[in-house]
Structure 1
């Protein structure tokens, strides 16, 4: 269908592609992946002919049609309704409809046989193209992408960039090109819409190339991965999970070949050095010199899985209770978001707030942050709670005249330049990159700087709104590692299922104008949701706890009624108090050991020695797990003592 042979394309002296080749077959579903800046979007623009290559051939079959969804479409605006814009996909059908309407109008005043013949031919072609169903098809796709029936007749201009992008996607899907090219289509979709698009692409008859950082999406829709790396296009026959396994195997084989070749080169060089001056061996030495010159070198494997080696600490430990929302109500005109809703957060909660767009997820984050006006009800932060809030619009608050180091320094003046460089290195900024001004950065680079600022803020409570938008897979992986190391509490809005499954221990969603909590991981929540649907929505899925209104206040305990019962309660109270004291002493000892290990992990002697670093890191993780366990036991003993005191009161 499309053949790319020996493609070369240069940006100045840098080769984005050099003798790269690939073939796109009919019906093939390709996931195009690679680090930011490797040229994924450029390849799509080369295929469509928007860019001209510096070498090679891109040949297309004569009947190939291409539809291209890209971020430039965000700027498109018109006063036409979104239904009209989507129906622009039916170009020939619309021409015929106008022709039929004009003929009918003319026949009202000038009835002629020739007009009847024209009308009959136009109506036959219109019917053959299934023209009488085009509106229902457009409505079905728009509603599948999250629009309500009332939205369909509103002007496109009234919608935000993300929603306009959905209209452009609907238009492309209705055109049904033989090759559909989608550049980061999930960036502006909520979870139900992503799942709808997945099903549509799975059943799509044409070929698809999709650029995406959403691993779950790629796993569900593609049958081939093409990786852009080293100015070449590398094929992997399978979905993203298969690619991860196959890539690791290929890297292992390549690294083995590289090491064997390097050993052979060293051995040959030693032979040359030893015998080049001896007359009897000079010819053999010269032969080996020529052999080395002709040798095709195997490249060393570059580890693209960057790892975070910086601890994002906070100086103030909060109390057990992080946040109380009581009797909170919020509405926009007639649209109710929350009605008398309650929510609780405790220290260590890692919450993913999920659901369809328009349900109020970002509004809830702003309510938690205290920045949402005209909200009824009570919001209380716990003792020593300090929070930091990341949202896409806050990229605008970056000082565009600062360089990256200066911007991070403003977030945490206590950090040295070396420490700030380490943080920027975690977010893939190295060398002189750190001196780039914010104004020259791409959207994804600004997102990484803003995220680094949030993590440097030393806040013990984070609010993150769609932090993975515009991040490539390596950057998402870095963020996951940072959050796994983060010891505070956070609430994160995200539609990236892989990301959510890695970082959340609780799920929040808004239903019936209430904040609902599912007390488990995202995978468990998905399973529970499917069970709930299969049982008619009653929520009674065996083995998995049902969600509740987030953390309702438990009923007060009943007081003791007689002397024997009081004595028993006093003994139990004494035991619980003693246990709490014992646990507290153990916590103090472990905290001291933890500080000592942290100091050792920061020393050059450990950092530069891989074995020592691995051993110390293992000890640190073991100690941290032990400390978490004992802290939970301490809290349990304290709660038990508190309940017993209430009964004795």
Structure 2
């Protein structure tokens, strides 16, 4: 680019004309201009293609540039390219050369027509080509040039796709209220009563980052039903939710939508106030009520003025008061319809259910950690009660009591719910229907997850049976045709078989379930004691003790689950075990040769999103070849080109797999895992479960996934009230009954 265009000049122009433009857009514009400049200087400019108008202008408009400024900028860029084209000279500029003599088109057409008729009446004789080579008439230089031009086009198209993807990844997210207002243009939802609120969209395609997610798919959500959306990591479930939430699929505007995708931004707003503010319809009604009351008070003042600044007459005042009174009555009726007076108690109930204590209600939202702000986002969504609620892995940041409360709450949900989850227990409790996303399609099943699993297995068996039966029948027909086709006595029957074969419907071979496997290497043996805590107390200050007098002992065969309410110190306990935190008093002993691999629930924060998965392993755990890293990632389901994609483009589950691959490279004696199943799909959870069962080292984990705990762990420790005690019951289900009695479930 430096030889053709001045990068700094372009960057300065962009920042001057589009203040606040994202750097990622600056880079893409520079890249496009560089490609265009190279093309015109080489005489490769495509007729009908205008990179400034077709590619750059839409980017600048999407970046928020004013129309006049964008127009001025595009004119400048076009002038720069025109200048380069002029310097390239007329031959390169036009790509044409002067003919040595006139061409008589009529004669040429006659020759072509004659050749065509000859070809139709005379079969082609290629026998002369046998046994000798024929010199190619292809200009190899021109061929290479054409191939390069095609490659450049494909690269440009890929850059465009990556730019579109980066807008979803890099853009500064709107705050929740802005997003609500943008995607829900109808504020007064009392006016939509009586309308059909089913969502039915047919024959749509979705792509992301140049990859096709769904092809010619259909989705039908019946109002009042609760749908679980399942599928493998990276299949595009979150992308589908995002497309629905942004109304990129044709969802009627009178259907209100809310998508809980990310933790809310923290500020000075008290927690309960942030929940109340989420109901934008109620907030607008309250503002309208305040405005009307203020206007009525103004009219009661001596000598009120009208809009023109003139003193109002008594008749005008009376008429205005009547008008405002009618408006106020309408507002009050709507507030009563939505039970506005019960809003605060309803918000408090939701916050309590999600684990917030009453003392937390008045805490500013910025004082909460990311996990708790995610709960606040969920609380806001439940309080709003939109017509269509979209949830993406809502149980990830919840402890077991909060998960139980959420299951119970969602079972009473009266509008439509579409939730992505890989928690089988949660889906069994909540879902009335399952949508299975696979092979660029959406399959709908009636019933909860267990019902889906049984139905899918039965359907799959029938599909395999039908496919194999048809393949056998096809083979039988083909054998008959091959045998008797040229037999005079049976040619007619053979011809009938051909027609039958042609009319048979084409059946696709049922998709094979890809088996996902995780594998952790066996560590070398070390003699006990391996790791223990002796009278450990920890607090961030003398007044705030998290753990007190903890005594635990772990050997190489340990399979321990740590359970307890959020905020009780489970993650703190793990960090003390691995040495990330030092005890205030007491001692943590670790064997001198002990290798510990730690999976943090915030593991994504520790990944360089600009690197590829291979690049991450190479940088963090050097010493192997790229091929070895790719092979290792493949054993954790990051196969093919996925290992060469930037980590930022991977799904949450794929990022988790990259992290697990990194743990295995360390060849640990002990795996310490904090919420390891978050973001993993069901197949990956099963693969992790099997890998941990086979692992010869120790495992200690924190998880809210009942099935995972039940399958992996042989003992449970309860972390509560600053103490850590061994649970004497019969596993996670008994513990769940103890903390969430059946009458509360």
State if a TM-score over 0.5 links the two structures.
yes
Deviations 1:181-206 (A, max 9, x none): 21221222222222111111011122
Question: Are residues 124 and 238 of structure 1, via their aligned partners in 2, closer, same or farther at CA, if it must alter by over 3 Å?
Answer: closer
Corresponding residue for residue 576 of structure 1: none
2:436 aligns with: 227
Tell me, yes or no, if structure 1 residue 178 matches structure 2 residue 387.
Answer: yes
Q: Please say if residues 556 and 669 of structure 2, whose CA atoms lie closer than 8 Å, have aligned partners that are also in contact.
A: no
- 1:302 aligns with 511
TM-score computed with the length of structure 2 as normaliser:
0.64
Matches within 5 A, 1:41-56: 41-52=238-249
TM superposition shift of 1:380:
0.9
- CA separation in 2, counterparts of 1:205 and 1:50? 22
Correspondent of 2:232 among 35, 51, 55: 35
Task: State which of 160, 163, 168 in structure 1 corresponds to 2:369.
Answer: 160
Further displaced range: 459-468 or 320-329: 320-329
Q: What residue in structure 1 maps to residue 470 of structure 2?
A: 261
Residue pairs, 1:346-357, within 5 angstroms: 346-357=555-566
Match 2:258 to one of 58, 61, 67: 67
Give the aligned length.
526
1:203 matched to 2:412: yes
- Distance in 2 between the 1:249 and 1:155 partners? 52
Q: Secondary structure at the match of 1:17?
A: strand
The answer to whether 1:6 aligns with 2:202 is yes
Deviation, structure 1 residue 288 = 3.4
Find the counterpart in structure 1 of residue 49 from structure 2.
Answer: none
Per-residue deviation, 1:391:
1.1
Q: Are the aligned partners of 1:276 and 1:285 in contact in 2 as well (CA < 8 Å)?
A: yes
1:94 pairs, out of 283, 288, 291, with 283
Question: Counterparts of 1:330 and 1:263 in 2: how far apart (Å)?
Answer: 70
1:363: Cα distance to partner?
0.9
Map Cα deviations across residues 167-222 of structure 1 (whole Å, 9 max, x no partner).
22222212222322212212222222221111110111222111111111111111
CA contact under 8 A between 2:204 and 2:218: conserved in structure 1?
Answer: no
Residues 148-547 of structure 1 mapped to structure 2, 5 A cutoff: 148-304=357-513, 306-308=515-517, 312-333=520-541, 334-373=543-582, 375-382=584-591, 384-398=593-607, 403-405=612-614, 407-408=616-617, 423-438=632-647, 440-519=649-728, 522-526=731-735, 529=738
Structure 1 residue 460, shift from structure 2 partner: 1.5
Distance 1:485 1:349 in 2: 13
SS in 2 for 1:51: coil
Classify 1:412/1:170 alpha carbon distance in 2 versus 1 (closer, same or farther; 3 Å). Answer: closer
Map of 1:131-142 to 2, 5 A cutoff?
131-142=340-351
Deviation at 1:312, TM superposition (A): 2.7
Q: Structure 1 residues 103, 417: CA separation in 2 closer, same or farther (over 3 Å shift)?
A: closer
Report the more deviating stretch, 425-434 or 242-251: 425-434
Q: Does the C-alpha gap of structure 1 residues 200 and 267 become closer, same or farther in structure 2, counting only changes over 3 Å?
A: same
Q: What TM-score results when the alignment is normalised by the length of structure 1?
A: 0.73
1:204-253: CA deviation from partner (whole Å, max 9, x where unpaired): 12221111111111111111111112232222221111212221111111
**Contact in 1 for aligned 2:410/2:430 (Cα 8 Å):** yes
RMSD: 3.3
Whether the aligned pair in 2 keeps the contact of 1:339 and 1:514 (CA below 8 Å) is yes
- Alpha-carbon contact 1:9-1:18 (below 8 Å) kept: yes
Quote the Cα distance in structure 2 between the aligned partners of 1:534 and 1:128. 33
Find the aligned partners of 2:687 and 2:589 in 1 and give their Cα distance: 32
Q: Contact 2:556–2:696 at 8 Å: present in 1 too?
A: no
Q: Is the 8 A contact 1:387 1:461 kept in 2?
A: yes
Moved more, 80-89 or 11-20: 11-20
Contact in 1 for aligned 2:675/2:703 (Cα 8 Å): yes
- Structure-to-structure mapping, 1:617-636, within 5 angstroms: none
Partner of 1:498, secondary structure, is helix
Separation in 1, partners of 2:242, 2:737: 42
Quote the offset at 1:262 in angstroms: 1.7
Asked whether the 8 Å contact 1:307–1:481 carries over to 2, the reply is no
Per-residue Cα deviation, 1:393-439 (whole angstroms, up to 9, x for no partner): 44444466765456556777798888765543332222343444546
Cα drift, residue 379 of structure 1: 0.4
Report the CA distance shift for 1:130/1:383 in structure 2 as closer, same or farther (over 3 A).
same
CA shift, 1:294, in A, is 3.5
2:264–2:377 Cα contact (<8 Å) kept: no
What is the deviation of 1:63? Answer: 5.5
TM-fit CA distance, 1:257? 1.4
Deviation at 1:469, TM superposition (A): 1.7
Instruction: State the SS of the aligned residue for 1:327.
Output: strand
State how far apart, in whole Å, the 2-side matches of 1:336 and 1:285 are: 87
Q: Select the structure of larger CA radius of gyration.
A: 2
Moved more, 388-397 or 112-121: 112-121
Q: Secondary structure at the match of 1:185?
A: coil
Q: CA 1:44 to 1:311, structure 2 compared with 1: closer, same or farther past 3 Å?
A: closer
Aligned mates of 2:222, 2:647 — CA distance in 1: 42
Q: 1:49 to 1:378 in 2, by over 3 A?
A: closer
Note the residue ranges of structure 2 that are not aligned, 5 or more in a row: 1-196, 302-317
Structure 2 CA distance for aligned equivalents of residues 161 and 237 of structure 1: 35
Which whole-Å CA distance do the structure 2 matches of 1:342 and 1:154 have between them? 34
CA distance in 2 between counterparts of 1:22 and 1:125 reads: 33
1:81 matches 2:290: no
* Alpha-carbon distance in 2 for matches of 1:232, 1:109: 61
